[in-house]
Amino acid sequence: MKSLLVFDFDHTIVDGNSDTWVVRCTPEKKLPDWLRKKYNGKHWNEYMREVLGYIGDQGIKEPEIKQVMESIPYCPGMIDLLKFICQNKDRVDCIIISDSNTVFISWILEFTNTSLAFDSILTNPATFDEQGYLRIENFHSHNCPQCPDNLCKRKALVNFVADQLKVGVQYKKIIYTGDGGNDLCPIESLEENDVAMVRKGYKLEKLIGEMVERHSCSVKPLIMIWSSGEEILSYLKKCLMT
């Protein structure tokens, strides 16, 4: 049986947030105050629709946006990790579950020739319309009170594993790599044989630490803290040898 590698994207594969990075394509390299103040801490996807609408209103077209997105840096060692995964597809399946969008992720991965590492990318659909505006949609609907209304990563992961099982693919281990608050929900669905790779110094590490301190930790998998792709790669090599 294979292992399943699951990656968040922003601040995990790339060392930044793709949704905020796109703002660098605007003339001022930032959003006007009136637009920034529209975000109230909820419904990020709806807010991003307004941001992308503003970018389109400035006459900024697909080639300019793409060039900016291709400049986002990867986390240290992450490209080497993804190339190792490409070379070991007989032993692992690998997916992304992200609150970014299909256009940004595909551009960034293709720029570094790492798209072949991934068997599936579960994220918000996005396309350019006839006027050259980038339009994004919600990935799915769900009833999870813990997650944003456009994406529950737990549901996305559970559904993917179930669909794989229907075609005869069963995973011996799931290794989930992430950094943010919305990665806690899918990690809570993992079992004792699984691994949660948690980025050091980011919100996910803090949330898991608080759960442990309250003695209310419902997280079953092994928790491993990482700072670079090299650390994940080192663990993965050892894991695949067993």
CATH of the domain at 225: 3.40.50.1000
The span from the CA of 49 to the CA of 150, in Å, is 13
Is residue 153 domain-shared with residue 59, that is, in the same domain? no
Q: Tell how strand 2-7 and strand 134-136 pair up.
A: unpaired
The reply to whether 8 belongs to the active site is yes
User: Is pLDDT above 70 for 8?
Assistant: yes
Is residue 56 domain-shared with residue 101, that is, in the same domain? no
Q: Would you state the pLDDT for residue 219?
A: 75
For the segment 207-218, the average pLDDT, to the nearest whole number, is 76
In a domain, 134, yes or no: no
pLDDT 10s digits, 37-53: 999 888 899 999 999 99
The Cα diameter of the chain in Å comes to 55
In a domain, 131, yes or no: no
Is residue 158 domain-shared with residue 216, that is, in the same domain? yes
In a domain, 189, yes or no: yes
User: Is pLDDT above 60 for 113?
Assistant: yes
In a domain, 129, yes or no: no
Is residue 195 domain-shared with residue 171, that is, in the same domain? yes
For the segment 225-238, the average pLDDT, to the nearest whole number, is 95
Q: How many residues does the chain have?
A: 242
In a domain, 204, yes or no: yes
Place of tokens 């990656």: 7
Is residue 86 domain-shared with residue 31, that is, in the same domain? no
The one-letter amino acid code at 25 reads: C
Is residue 154 domain-shared with residue 89, that is, in the same domain? yes
Q: What is the pTM of this model?
A: 0.95
User: Is pLDDT above 90 for 217?
Assistant: no
3-state SS string over 150-217? CCCHHHHHHHHHHHHHHCCCCEEEEEEEECCHHHHHHHHCCCCCCEEEEECCCHHHHHHHHHHHCCCC
User: What is the tally of structural domains in the chain?
Assistant: 2
Is residue 108 domain-shared with residue 207, that is, in the same domain? yes
* C-alpha torsion 153→157→160→165, nearest 10: -160
In a domain, 54, yes or no: yes
pLDDT 10s digits, 136-186: 999 998 999 989 989 999 999 999 999 999 999 999 999 999 999 999 999
For the segment 108-122, the average pLDDT, to the nearest whole number, is 96
Q: Which domain holds residue 35?
A: 19-69
Position 30 confidence tier, pLDDT thresholds 50, 70, 90: very high
Is residue 29 domain-shared with residue 80, that is, in the same domain? no
Mean pLDDT, all residues of the chain: 94
Mark which of 69, 92, 107 sits at the end of a domain.
Answer: 69
The reply to whether 194 belongs to the active site is no
Mark which of 69, 84, 99 sits at the end of a domain.
Answer: 69
Is residue 61 domain-shared with residue 83, that is, in the same domain? no
Q: Would you state the pLDDT for residue 215?
A: 65
Exactly one of 10, 93, 99, 183 is catalytic; name it. 10
User: Is pLDDT above 60 for 216?
Assistant: no
